[in-house]
Amino acid sequence: MSIVTELKENILKGGQISRDEALLLADAPLDELTRAADEIRRQMCQNGFDLCTIVNGKCGRCSEDCKYCAQSVHYHTACSESYPLLDTKKLLEGARYNDAKGVLRYSIVTSGKRLTDREIDQVCESIRTIKKETSIEVCVSFGLLNESQFRKIKEAGASRIHCNLESSARYFPKVCTTHTYEEKIETLKAAQRAGLSICSGGILGLGETMEDRIDMVLTARELGVKSVPMNLLNPIPGTPYEKNRPLTNEEACRCAALFRFLIPDASIRLAGGRGLLEDKGEACFLSGANAAISGDMLTTAGITVETDQELLQKLGYETRLYNG
């Protein structure tokens, strides 16, 4: 019995793999690994596919120095757009549009280290209106907030917060210096204490190793994360990572499969950079991934909801909420 089959069978019996075992899988034959990951996905999650969209709720002039980001004030990129927190009318318009298209989750994402209390009060009113007038789930990504702020957001009707780990604890200081990995972890724990579910993954292609990717997902597993965004770096001219090589289809499929082995019952969510893949993620959706961000990203073009829904129908998926 191969190591892939052995570990797959252990997972299907309720076990989990260790860091050392994940590193062994990282060198396993790709076809065998992706087939096994897809089998785990089918048995643990069936054919459900969690589809979400994001809206750039507050754009540009970000104080943080994340080296991949077009919105950081530290870099000179083509992203010159900047605006304050969108009002309720604009956010509701986007929520209605996505709800009508069958999108399950609508995530409001804002630039900056964190929203102010005043901004939180404003966006909570928007969330209440969205929940009153649509059936879509509301997720938020408002930066490094505290528990009391998250409680306000939960009471307004949001169900999930997003805060990416980005990479491993070891590698993160090479990605960003204006906030810490520990602050991110405390943000996720504060959201959990407030009763919100958490979504956290990272970006692949920052210069990290496969060990860093595995360690990032292991940290997410320890935190109880069940929605893991898998972003693929889109090298933005003007950022420090502008010359980084984007991941290939094969590399993306291997990572999706490893993430499925590490958190077998999670939504492994293809996110930013998916449009750079030759097949727009189709092979990854047969390699363990079972969720996606559809539509445009924050500062780059994405894949339309209609195109994604056609693909999911072709692959035998059914769009439905998963993991709360």
Nearest to 156 by CA among 115, 124, 198, 191: 124
Q: What is the pLDDT of residues 153-180, one digit of tens each?
A: 999 999 999 999 999 999 999 999 999 9
- pLDDT score of 303: 85
Q: Could you tell me the two tokens for 164? A: 């990416």
Residue 238 has pLDDT above 90, yes or no: yes
Q: What is the pLDDT of residues 84-109, one digit of tens each?
A: 999 999 999 999 999 999 999 999 99
Let me know: does 8 contact 32? Beta carbons within 8 Å.
no
DSSP for 95-113, please give it. Answer: HHHHHHTT--EEEEEE-SS
Looking up tokens 């924050």, which residue turns up? 298
- pLDDT score of 262: 98
Contacts of 136 (CB under 8 A, 6+ apart): 95, 98, 99, 103, 104, 105, 106, 130
**Which position has the higher pLDDT, 29 or 64?**
29
52-66, 167-181, 209-223, 245-259: range with lowest mean pLDDT: 52-66
**Which position has the higher pLDDT, 301 or 208?**
208
- pLDDT score of 80: 73
Instruction: Output the pTM of the full model.
Output: 0.95
Residue 115 has pLDDT above 90, yes or no: yes
What is the CATH class of 16-319?
alpha beta
What band does 300 get if pLDDT is binned at 50, 70 and 90? Answer: low
Distance CA 301, CA 284 (A): 19
